[in-house]
A = this chain, B = another copy of it.
Amino acid sequence: MKKVLLSGFEPFGGESINPSLKLIKRLENERWDDVEVHLVQLPVVFGESIKKLKKVIDEVDPDLVIGIGQAGGRTALSIERVAINVDDAVIADNEGNQPIDRPINSKGPAAYFSTLPIKRMMKAAREAGVPAMISNSAGTYVCNHLMYGILDLLAGTDKLGGFIHIPYLPEQVVDRPLQPSMALETMVKGIKAMVMAAVSGDKDDKIAAGALD
């Protein structure tokens, strides 16, 4: 049985909630068939986030590592295709760090592609009735930092890694009604479908899901 490690983040940027934290807490109570799921909560801090995750990876020895984070303003579950080797923070992280145009790993490659079967995961979520898409940028903040860190750690191993961005929860935007959101139950359904698709083999489906610009 495959082992999957899913991470969520603490709140940041003035929010009192982080949907990825709510999500992993909710997934603790979820019944999973044919897969062993581990969950970890990470600080929204450059450096510390990946350090803490590395420790858990060493303990758990998972087959797949999937970071999950909030993408305020997005409408769908967004499976990230690529992480780039740069930190460029428009706001400070939860410990006050605000790197600008700093490489994550000065000896690392410019980018890492997700090693998850992202197209099959997208398809699985959609088939479960959940809006999902491929995203070609995880930003330049702690989410991209963590995704790059995961793939840098797993490079050269047969472990797969990647990242999923999720929308705001409805309760986060009650007073900002022009912001899109997604219910926790919808996220749970989509993430479960994606995890099951991810463990079902590492060769991806060939589905056009790029962006024109």
Question: Interface residues, chain A, CB within 8 Å of chain B?
Answer: 13, 69-76, 78, 81-82, 84-91, 98, 100-101, 109-113, 119, 125-127, 129-134, 136-141, 143, 165, 170-171, 173-183, 185-186, 204, 206-213
Contacts and interface: CB of A to CB of B under 8 A. Distances in A.
Most buried by B among A90, A173, A210, A211: A210
Nearest to A128: B174
Task: Say whether chain A's binding surface is mostly helix, strand, loop, or mixed.
Answer: loop
Closest 9 pairs (CB-CB, A-B) = A88-B210, A140-B210, A111-B111, A76-B177, A183-B183, A71-B213, A180-B180, A133-B177, A137-B137
A91 B212 contact: yes
Contacts of A183: 182-183, 185-186
